Amino acid sequence: MTDFINSFGIILFATLAYATPLIYAALGSCFSEVSGVVNIGIEGMMTAGAFTGTVVAYFTGNPWLGFLCAGLAGMLFGALHALATVRLGADQTIAGTAINMLGPGIVIMIARVIFDSTDTIPLTAKQRIPTLFKGLFDTSTVFGRFMDNVFATYASTYLVFIAVFIVWFVFYKTRFGLRLRACGEHPEACETLGINVLSMRFKCVCISGFLAGLGGACVTMAISNQFRPISIVGQGFIAIAAVIFGKFRPHGALIGCLLFGFCSGLKTVLGGSSGIDTQLISMIPYVVTIIILILFVGRSHVPSANGKPYIKTR
């Protein structure tokens, strides 16, 4: 029984840790997709954020400055995607694919210049995103160890749940959110009411990049302690799958991300004790992603104008 409780606590900790970057990225995807712009470049934006956050934290010693700069780096690539798709009318899928290729390519080139390697130098404990409530619980008891596993987690995890509430509030309780959702459904009608559709979409794609950058930083500044070319592998696409699962709603995407985070947590526990081939265990999150897409992609209400470039008539 004690082993079961300990294992369950470890799974919950891993679930929250692995779900956190997905939630940030999924919230960003919600902004872009609901406004009417397909953004499959989330992964490239996460990669840019992961590298930038790690480098800034390493040279300044300030993890929160690195975390902020990670978001700004993602926003920069988001602005590039918005420029191509919103302002210039480029194909949104192709532009997103280009971001996914451009982001890793640029950061690996910069890493070679700065560190003479594709990997950054590992961060110290003070340079990483701190954990909260560490040492608050008595780990000499089963209950204390369980509580320590669940609640003594990274500060970015607590912040992301606050972010989910804020995004939900913005989407459904503010004028900005009403206009955002309207731009993804009926952009022509919005324009007749004096709403600048192009400006609204541009802003939302930039916000999308900012949140994706924060998600990337969570991977390299919390879960691990350095950036590697394989740090962000498929996580951007998993976040998009979570958005589809959640029917393009922030609270729905949260549930999807927790599900994928649980699969990753399960992978972590099984990989160390089950005796099952590690390659098969590593497939769990990706197999679940495919199953989710098969089951839910046809049931999700995609915004009517999603993926359709809006050309201002006058």
Q: Is residue 265 part of a domain?
A: no
The number of domains in the chain is 1
- CB atoms under 10 Å from CB of 195, counted, come to 17
Distance, CA of 311 to CA of 90 (rounded, Å): 11
Share of the chain above pLDDT 70, in %: 88
**How many whole angstroms separate alpha carbon 165 and alpha carbon 250?**
8
pTM of the entire predicted model: 0.91
Bridge partners, residue 154, by sequence:
131
Instruction: Over range 127-156, report the average pLDDT.
Output: 77
Cβ contacts of 79 within 8 Å, gap of 6 or more: 202, 205, 206, 209
What is the distance between the alpha carbons of residues 48 and 229, in angstroms, rounded to a whole number?
Answer: 11
Taking a C-beta distance cutoff of 8 angstroms, is the pair 242, 256 a contact? yes
Q: What is the CA radius of gyration of the chain?
A: 20
| 88 part of a folded domain | yes
The pLDDT confidence band at residue 260, using thresholds 50, 70 and 90, is confident
Q: Is 193 a member of any domain?
A: yes
Mean pLDDT over 75-85 rounds to 96
Contact 132, 155 (CB under 8 A): yes
Please report whether residue 115 resides in a domain.
yes
**Structural domain span for residue 96:** 19-238
The model's confidence at residue 313, banded by pLDDT at 50, 70 and 90, is low
Alpha-carbon span 272 to 218, nearest angstrom: 23
50 falls within a domain: yes
With respect to residue 114, please indicate whether it lies within any of the assigned structural domains. Answer: yes
146-150 long-range Cβ contacts below 8 angstroms, 24+ apart: 146/5, 146/6, 146/8, 146/9, 147/9, 148/9, 149/6, 149/9, 149/10, 149/12, 149/13, 150/9, 150/12, 150/13, 150/16
Residue at 57 is within a domain? yes
pLDDT digits (tens, 9 = 90+) for 197-229: 999 999 999 999 999 999 999 999 998 889 999
Q: pLDDT higher for 293 or 165? A: 165
Structural domain contains residue 290: no
Report whether pLDDT(2) > 70: no
Closest by alpha carbon to 51, among 102, 111, 114? Answer: 111
